[in-house]
């Protein structure tokens, strides 16, 4: 199958991880990367930074496929801004799935989402748009992950959980079966969530407790 062209938006550490997945997938040819103006013509894993945000309308003339490769820890704002701007311009956002990940046939993954090496998205799970299921993350059966979420490395979202939008679940955290997590929540690394979180804010610990608003 002939590779399709794709442009990446964001040239930091998460971009390098995404490049590794995209190369392993053998479906897309990376044309270049969009980043800050002062980064022009530098390279990330051999791929040139070919433009900045002001160049996006022009770059769309030669390439339909884009992918947001800005990372997401404390907030999804930058990823959302770039995704929504490009959508208005008519860009397409493929789903990127590592060959070493497992995604059940009955699972649904929305546009612009990446499922990275060793991740699992199990039966009838749903993952929203422009989200990250990072290396080794597990999203179990019938779980629902909202738009603009990041399930970090080694995190586990157990069966029938409902995760809102713009949620970050830190590395090696565990969300217990059937738990709901409100939108705009940050779960610190290594935390265990054993009951539903109904207010936005940052939660850490075992069991997880709110530390700020």
Determine what percent of the chain is predicted with pLDDT higher than 70: 100
pLDDT tens digits, residue range 97-155? 999 999 999 999 999 999 999 999 999 999 999 999 999 999 999 999 999 999 999 99
Terminal Cα-to-Cα distance of the chain (whole angstroms): 49
CA-angle at 42, arms to 40 and 46, nearest 5°: 135
> Helix, strand, or coil here: 173?
coil
d(CA 2, CA 98): 18
Task: Pick the closest to residue 119 from 169, 163, 77, 82 (CA basis).
Answer: 169
Report domain extents, the chain: 4-89, 96-204
| Residues 86, 28: Cα–Cα separation, whole Å | 19
| 38: Cβ contacts below 8 Å, ≥ 6 apart | none
| Amino acid 145: pLDDT | 98
Q: 């422009």: which residue's tokens?
A: 130
pLDDT digits 0-9 by tens, 41-74: 999 999 999 999 999 999 999 899 999 999 998 8
The CATH fold assigned to 96-204 is UDP N-Acetylglucosamine Acyltransferase; domain 1 (2.160.10)
What pLDDT sits at residue 213?
61
pTM comes to 0.96
Instruction: Report whether pLDDT(186) > 70.
Output: yes
1-22 pLDDT per residue, tens: 789 999 999 999 999 999 999 9
Q: How far is CA 20 from CA 25, 27, 44, 117, 135, in A?
A: 9, 12, 11, 9, 11
Q: Do the domains 96-204 and 4-89 match in fold? A: no
Tell me which architecture the domain covering 4-89 has in CATH: 3-Layer(aba) Sandwich (3.40)
Asked whether 159 and 178 are in contact (CB, 8 A), the reply is: yes
């Amino acid at each position: 199958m002939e590779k399709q062209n794709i442009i990446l938006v964001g040239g930091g550490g998460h971009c390098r991880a995404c490049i590794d997945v995209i190369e392993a997938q053998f479906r897309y040819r990376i044309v270049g990367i969009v980043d800050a103006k002062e980064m022009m013509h530098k390279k990330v894993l051999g791929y040139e930074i070919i433009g900045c945000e002001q160049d996006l309308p022009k770059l769309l003339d030669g390439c339909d496929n884009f992918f947001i490769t800005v990372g997401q820890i404390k907030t999804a704002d930058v990823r959302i801004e770039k995704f929504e701007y490009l959508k208005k311009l008519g860009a397409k956002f493929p789903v990127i799935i590592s060959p070493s990940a497992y995604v059940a046939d009955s699972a649904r993954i929305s546009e612009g989402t990446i499922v990275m090496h060793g991740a699992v998205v199990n039966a009838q799970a749903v993952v929203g748009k422009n989200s990250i299921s990072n290396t080794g993350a597990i999203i179990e059966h019938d779980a629902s992950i909202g738009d603009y979420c990041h399930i970090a490395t080694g995190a586990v979202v157990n069966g029938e959980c409902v995760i809102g939008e713009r949620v970050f679940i830190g590395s090696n955290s565990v969300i217990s079966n059937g738990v709901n997590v409100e939108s705009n929540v940050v779960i610190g690394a290594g935390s265990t969530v054993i009951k539903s979180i109904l207010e936005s804010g940052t939660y850490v610990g075992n069991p997880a407790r709110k530390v700020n608003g």
